[in-house]
């Protein structure tokens, strides 16, 4: 008695294995010798039983049917393998047959048809070639097996079922059309990642024909990012997730692109995943945009020179960057959600100026202005502000972008530049005035000597010559002061220090002023002989300026004193006058500071202080000096602290 053909059932659904197994046993044609749930068990069962047939599911976790099919045939070459699949498509069937499958049966066929097709695989081997299928006889020498259930033929009672099947077929055909004609890539995969169906968009995306893609592990397309696919499939099969997405590079044939894969499982009535449906979209442009947005976000977040933040439609702060925190002094958690009016001075808040700025930005698209703003600590700074209305694609107002830059330093520089220009203009005016008088004296004296010199008596001639000499000295002092001021401005002023006598230095300066102004009364006093290191020419220039200032603006007598101090020497110049006007005391030593258009260039005292500081000392004005008289004081060290040659 010949044995019935043996069969092994491999499917990850125990319910399906039970149903098919029961139907095969009921047919009396097969002996079910084993069941398995994945490709690994299929190989073990093939090795153990060498069955006549194996009904092998296409999609299973760990190792799917297409992957294990060649391995099963290697273990048991005589076994005929019938692929049992929930997928459809000629490409998949062709791929299965290329790998060695003897038939390809869709799970949608009735069980009676499945039994018939399985029997056809082994009928020739058991002498039933002439039956053309399942006959009334069993195997030779055996009692007749129980006949299989007859294939159902539609009759009057089956009208509803036929109509339902037709509707189902129409839906299936419609789905296939949508699948094949979709603009984005679509694929159906086994639970182990093998592609069993792919649409034209995916074929175009990867630049491969269908027969190269069907049966291929999708991980091959990910350019060494197959771990992303494995993780996504594990989250579906083991984690029970219904939607998993990941990105990977792909070779499109025209270059490397980036795609986003969205996996959705198709589950049975028990919730177990049967296979995975994938949507593959080219995300290269989106990714580049996302990267650009991220770079921009990082840039905005990191930049510290500009406060860049968003306001909602009502003017409340919606975002905050490092520059805003740096300039305005608020942390993000202290300011987000608050109205931006808090950055304005109280008087502008009361006048509604912040809200007015938003109205202007909304009306004109952008509004820019400069003005005072307030930091968290209450201090003010001068700001350059740009407010831009932000709309979405539909034209709806989404808020306002606000950029603020602290312009305090630039404003100070501009103010300094303005003052410098004013000072230069003033210097030119004062210098012109200073030049006009001595030039007129010299011109008049020359004309007098040229035209009537012979008629002048000796005393008149001497007075004319003294006037010319005095004017020449005045011009020379003006030239010297201008040159020294220029050197200070360009940091070119240098010292040539040597050992000097305090007494001789003061006496020399007094003699020079006496020579220039014969009526000058200067009382010079030095209590003890003191030698120190200084530049005699520069120090003499400073002393001359102090004495000249006292002679021109004070009252005689002028007192010039020198003394030794703990750190060096001190020179004091005072007179019997009322002293400097209170309004000028604070800026006496500033460049171009003067009491009026007839008060000189305003460089003399400025140079006194600069020369003193160049020696490592300083100059100051005392409202009550020695004897209660106003005085200028010059303090110098015993030796210049920073010698310059």
Q: The CATH number of the domain where 502 resides is what?
A: 3.30.565.10
- Quick check: 335 and 404 in contact, CB under 8 A? no
522: in domain: yes
**Cα–Cα distance measured from residue 88 to residue 199, given in angstroms and rounded to the nearest whole number:** 13
**Cα–Cα distance measured from residue 147 to residue 165, given in angstroms and rounded to the nearest whole number:** 26
| pLDDT the model gives residue 167 | 53
Same domain flag for 497 and 399: no
Q: Which pair of structure tokens corresponds to residue 175?
A: 């789905």
Domain-ending residue, one of 152, 172, 206: 152
- Which tops the pLDDT comparison, 488 or 56? 56
**Cα–Cα distance measured from residue 212 to residue 95, given in angstroms and rounded to the nearest whole number:** 9
pLDDT at 189 over 70: yes
CATH of residue 80's domain is 3.40.50.2300
Residue positions counted in the chain:
645
| pLDDT the model gives residue 591 | 67
- Quick check: 73 and 101 in contact, CB under 8 A? no
pLDDT at 296 over 70: no
Say which residue the tokens 């590079």 belong to.
249
| pLDDT the model gives residue 152 | 42
pLDDT at 113 over 60: yes
**Cα–Cα distance measured from residue 210 to residue 459, given in angstroms and rounded to the nearest whole number:** 126
Same domain flag for 416 and 533: no
CA distances in angstroms from 418 to 24, 425, 459, listed in the order given? 104, 11, 51
CA distances in angstroms from 21 to 6, 380, 443, listed in the order given? 12, 87, 135
pLDDT at 118 over 80: yes
79: in domain: yes
- Other beta carbons less than 10 A from residue 491's beta carbon: 8
Same domain flag for 44 and 147: yes
Q: What's the start-to-end Cα distance of the chain, in Å?
A: 127
Same domain flag for 502 and 616: yes
446: in domain: yes
pLDDT at 546 over 50: yes
| pLDDT the model gives residue 473 | 65
pLDDT at 89 over 80: no
pLDDT confidence bin for 190, thresholds 50/70/90 = confident
| pLDDT the model gives residue 130 | 39
The phi and psi torsions of 311 (rounded to 5 degrees) equal -115, 145
The phi and psi torsions of 434 (rounded to 5 degrees) equal -65, -35
- Which tops the pLDDT comparison, 3 or 175? 3
Report the percentage of the chain scoring pLDDT > 90.
31
96: in domain: yes
The dihedral over CA atoms of 86, 92, 94, 96, expressed in degrees to the nearest 10, equals -70
Q: Residue 144 contacts by C-beta under 8 Å, 6 or more apart in sequence?
A: 136, 137, 138
- Quick check: 67 and 90 in contact, CB under 8 A? no
Q: CB-hemisphere CA count at 13 Å for 274?
A: 18
Strand, helix or coil at 243? Answer: coil
| pLDDT the model gives residue 168 | 45
395: in domain: yes
The phi and psi torsions of 444 (rounded to 5 degrees) equal -65, -40
In our burial notation (b when 16+ CB lie closer than 10 A, e otherwise), range 22-56 reads ebbeebbbbebebbbbbbebbbebbeebebbbbbb
Same domain flag for 18 and 38: yes
Same domain flag for 491 and 629: yes
Same domain flag for 456 and 390: no
pTM of the model: 0.42
Q: Environment class of residue 619 by beta-carbon count within 10 Å: exposed (0-12), middle (13-18) or buried (19+)?
A: buried
330: in domain: yes
Q: Which pair of structure tokens corresponds to residue 630?
A: 């106003």
User: Which one-letter DSSP state was computed for residue 528?
Assistant: S
CA distances in angstroms from 28 to 8, 264, 541, listed in the order given? 15, 40, 131
133: in domain: yes
Same domain flag for 250 and 278: yes
pLDDT confidence bin for 176, thresholds 50/70/90 = low
- Quick check: 15 and 44 in contact, CB under 8 A? no
pLDDT at 620 over 80: yes
> Alpha carbon 72 to chain centroid distance?
57
| pLDDT the model gives residue 292 | 59
pLDDT confidence bin for 36, thresholds 50/70/90 = very high
| pLDDT the model gives residue 552 | 83
Strand, helix or coil at 471? Answer: helix
DSSP string, 551-576: HHHS-SPEEEEEEE-SSEEEEEEE-S
Same domain flag for 221 and 241: yes
**Cα–Cα distance measured from residue 124 to residue 126, given in angstroms and rounded to the nearest whole number:** 5
CA distances in angstroms from 207 to 13, 29, 201, 253, 479, listed in the order given? 35, 47, 10, 6, 87
Q: Which pair of structure tokens corresponds to residue 333?
A: 């958690």
Same domain flag for 345 and 376: yes
CATH of residue 224's domain is 3.30.450.20
Residue 35: name the closest of 86, 95, 84 by CA.
84
DSSP string, 340-385: GGGGS-HHHHHTTHHHHHHHHHHHHSEEEEEEEEE-TTS-EEEEEE
Beta-ladder partners of 591: none
Say if strands 380-391 and 498-501 run parallel, antiparallel, or are unpaired: unpaired
Number of domains in the chain: 5
The phi and psi torsions of 405 (rounded to 5 degrees) equal -125, 135
- The 3-state secondary structure of 85-113, one letter per residue: ECCCCHHHHHHHHHCCCCEEEECCCCHHH
The phi and psi torsions of 133 (rounded to 5 degrees) equal 145, -155
Give the domain extent around 61: 6-152
Domain-ending residue, one of 404, 421, 451: 404
pLDDT at 500 over 50: yes
Domain-ending residue, one of 132, 152, 172: 152
The phi and psi torsions of 13 (rounded to 5 degrees) equal -100, 110
159: in domain: no
Residue 220: name the closest of 249, 191, 243 by CA.
249
Mean pLDDT for 171-182 is: 63
Least confident of 160-169, 222-231, 446-455: 160-169
pLDDT at 67 over 70: yes
Say if strands 256-267 and 273-282 run parallel, antiparallel, or are unpaired: antiparallel
| pLDDT the model gives residue 516 | 73
Q: Which helix (H) or strand (E) holds 201?
A: helix 200-206
Mean pLDDT for 473-486 is: 66
Same domain flag for 384 and 353: yes
Same domain flag for 16 and 143: yes
pLDDT at 136 over 50: no
| pLDDT the model gives residue 276 | 87
pLDDT confidence bin for 148, thresholds 50/70/90 = very low
pLDDT at 605 over 80: yes
| pLDDT the model gives residue 145 | 44
Roughly what angle, to the nearest 10 degrees, separates helices 65-75 and 90-98?
A: 30
Mean pLDDT for 199-213 is: 84
Mean pLDDT for 495-500 is: 88
């Amino acid at each position: 008695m010949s044995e019935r053909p043996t069969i092994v059932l491999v499917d990850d659904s125990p319910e399906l294995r039970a149903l098919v197994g029961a139907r095969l046993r009921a047919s009396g044609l097969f002996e079910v010798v084993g069941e398995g749930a994945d490709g690994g068990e299929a190989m073990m069962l093939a090795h153990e039983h060498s069955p006549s047939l194996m009904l092998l599911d296409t999609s299973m976790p760990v190792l799917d049917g297409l992957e294990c099919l060649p391995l099963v045939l290697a273990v048991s070459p005589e076994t005929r393998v019938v692929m049992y699949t929930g997928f459809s498509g000629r490409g998949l069937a062709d791929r299965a047959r290329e790998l060695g499958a003897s038939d390809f049966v869709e799970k949608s066929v009735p069980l009676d048809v499945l039994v018939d097709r399985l029997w056809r695989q082994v009928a020739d081997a058991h002498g039933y070639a002439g039956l053309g299928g399942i006959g009334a006889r069993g195997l030779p020498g055996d009692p007749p097996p129980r006949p299989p259930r007859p294939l159902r033929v539609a009759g009057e009672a089956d009208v509803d079922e036929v109509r339902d099947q037709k509707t189902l077929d129409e839906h299936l055909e419609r789905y296939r059309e949508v699948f094949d004609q979709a603009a984005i890539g679509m694929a159906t995969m086994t639970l182990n990642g093998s592609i069993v169906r792919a649409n034209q968009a995916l074929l175009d995306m990867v630049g491969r024909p269908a027969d190269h893609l069907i049966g291929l592990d999708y991980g091959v397309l990910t350019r060494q990012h197959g771990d992303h696919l494995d993780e996504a499939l594990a989250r579906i099969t083991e984690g029970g997730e219904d939607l998993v997405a990941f990105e990977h590079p792909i070779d499109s044939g025209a270059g490397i692109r980036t795609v986003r894969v969205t996996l959705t499982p198709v589950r049975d009535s028990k919730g177990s995943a049967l296979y995975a449906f994938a949507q593959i979209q080219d995300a290269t442009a989106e990714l580049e945009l996302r990267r650009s947005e991220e770079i921009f976000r990082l840039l905005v977040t990191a930049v510290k020179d500009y406060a860049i933040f968003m306001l909602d439609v009502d003017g409340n702060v919606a975002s905050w960057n490092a520059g805003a925190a740096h300039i305005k002094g608020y942390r993000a958690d202290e300011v987000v959600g608050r109205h931006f009016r808090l950055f304005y001075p109280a008087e502008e808040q009361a006048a509604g100026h912040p809200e007015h700025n938003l109205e202007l930005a909304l009306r004109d698209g952008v509004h820019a202005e400069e003005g005072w703003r307030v930091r968290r600590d209450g201090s003010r700074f001068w700001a350059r502000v740009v407010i831009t209305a932000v709309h979405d694609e539909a034209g709806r107002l989404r808020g306002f972008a606000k950029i603020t830059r602290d312009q305090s330093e630039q404003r100070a520089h501009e103010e300094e530049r303005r003052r410098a220009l004013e000072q230069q203009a003033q210097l030119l005016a004062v210098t012109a005035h200073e030049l006009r008088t001595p030039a007129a004296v010299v011109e008049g004296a020359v004309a007098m000597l040229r035209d009537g010199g012979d008629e002048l008596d000796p005393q008149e001639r001497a007075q004319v010559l003294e006037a010319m000499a005095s004017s020449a000295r005045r011009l020379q002092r003006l030239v010297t002061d201008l040159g020294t001021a220029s050197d200070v401005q360009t940091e070119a002023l240098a010292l040539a220090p040597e050992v000097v006598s305090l007494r001789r230095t003061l006496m020399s300066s007094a003699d020079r002023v006496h020579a220039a102004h014969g009526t000058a009364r200067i009382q010079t006093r030095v209590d003890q002989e003191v030698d120190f290191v200084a530049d005699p020419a520069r120090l003499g220039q400073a002393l001359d300026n102090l004495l000249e200032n006292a002679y021109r603006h004070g009252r005689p007598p002028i007192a010039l004193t020198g003394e030794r101090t703990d750190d060096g020497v001190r020179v004091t110049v005072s007179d019997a006058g009322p002293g400097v006007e209170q309004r000028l005391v604070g800026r006496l030593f500033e460049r171009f500071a003067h009491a009026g258009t007839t008060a000189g260039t305003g460089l003399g005292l400025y140079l006194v202080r600069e020369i003193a500081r160049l020696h490592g000392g300083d100059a100051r004005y005392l409202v009550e000096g020695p004897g209660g008289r106003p005085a200028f004081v010059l303090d110098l060290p015993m030796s210049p602290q920073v010698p310059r040659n």
